[in-house]
Structure 1
């Protein structure tokens, strides 16, 4: 059970930006999760839960689960802190970029559009194959397995550009 928040008491020293803390998931909502940090309420927004794309926070967090997070910001008046679980996890995009630039990979088509095709290369990595790279008349549908070359990676834009040319 969560301890009631006492806004008259000062926040613990562990509640300063940059500090790592442990807590328990109180509740999961459409926009994030409330975390009990020994009487102080913390909140993790969806983008700060995991590096992976999720449709709902309940795909990554369960009520009652113990988590470790880093404090992003603190609101002493509301006795709340903003947290990130993701910041304590390795970024799979950086790992992908380090080992796969120029690689020939096989992936599944996840989406098609007039400007190109999106291909899932790894669990959390989707690359983009521009229409200009696809031979005229060749059609891909969602679920097709295709072999592509990683032509370009932008860390800043978190973008992987693919090519069919080997």
Structure 2
């Protein structure tokens, strides 16, 4: 029986290719990710491949027994392992944000104030950007908390977006 299961897993692995889309069922949720069963083979969706948005735990995204559609990222036949992604099948919301908001002045809310770095401002339900310290220094402030406080509503210009590092650079506007 175990030999038949091993042969079945190997057969599934041999049919998988990176870029392929398949359906599976969430079989287990771990801190490092989610295991998805695709017909007798459990493959891993690493926690970084679950969603584009911020979440606290994998269980915020999926639940055991849930049917999911996944993208095959990699296959290792020798190790009998497969890696999958849930988020790769959905558009990156930061790309859309960049297309629409880059160069614009938009409202935001101060989320964090760091003395040596600057101020982080929430500019979208999923994104925070940085107003660097030198932007605040132009306002004759020795410390960011002298200019802005947590919860303050501000107008900021989106001056830079790094899609690879997933960073947004902002400039404070009056």
The TM-score bracket by the shorter chain reads 0.7 to 0.9
Structure-2 separation of matches of 1:142 and 1:159: 20
Q: Describe how 1:1-166 pairs up with structure 2 within 5 A.
A: 6-9=5-8, 10-12=10-12, 14-114=15-115, 115-134=117-136, 135-137=139-141, 138-165=146-173
Structure-1 separation of matches of 2:105 and 2:29: 40
List runs of 5+ in structure 1 lacking aligned partners: none
Comparing 134-143 with 119-128, which one deviates more in the overlay? 134-143
The secondary structure found in structure 2 opposite 1:98 is helix
Relative distance call for 1:128 and 1:38 in structure 2 (3 A) is same
List runs of 5+ in structure 2 lacking aligned partners: none
Comparing 59-68 with 135-144, which one deviates more in the overlay? 135-144
1:44 shift after superposition: 0.5
**Superposition CA RMSD, Å:** 2.0
The secondary structure found in structure 1 opposite 2:70 is strand
Q: Which runs of 4+ in 1 moved over 4 A?
A: none
The secondary structure found in structure 2 opposite 1:149 is strand
Q: Is the 8 A contact 1:7 1:78 kept in 2?
A: no
1:14 shift after superposition: 4.7
1:78 shift after superposition: 4.3
More helix by share: 2
Q: Is the 8 A contact 1:11 1:40 kept in 2?
A: no
Q: Is the 8 A contact 2:157 2:173 kept in 1?
A: yes
Aligned residues, how many? 163
Structure-2 separation of matches of 1:50 and 1:35: 15
TM-superposition CA deviations, 1:15-42 (whole Å, max 9, x none): 2211101011111111110111111111
Structure-2 separation of matches of 1:43 and 1:116: 38
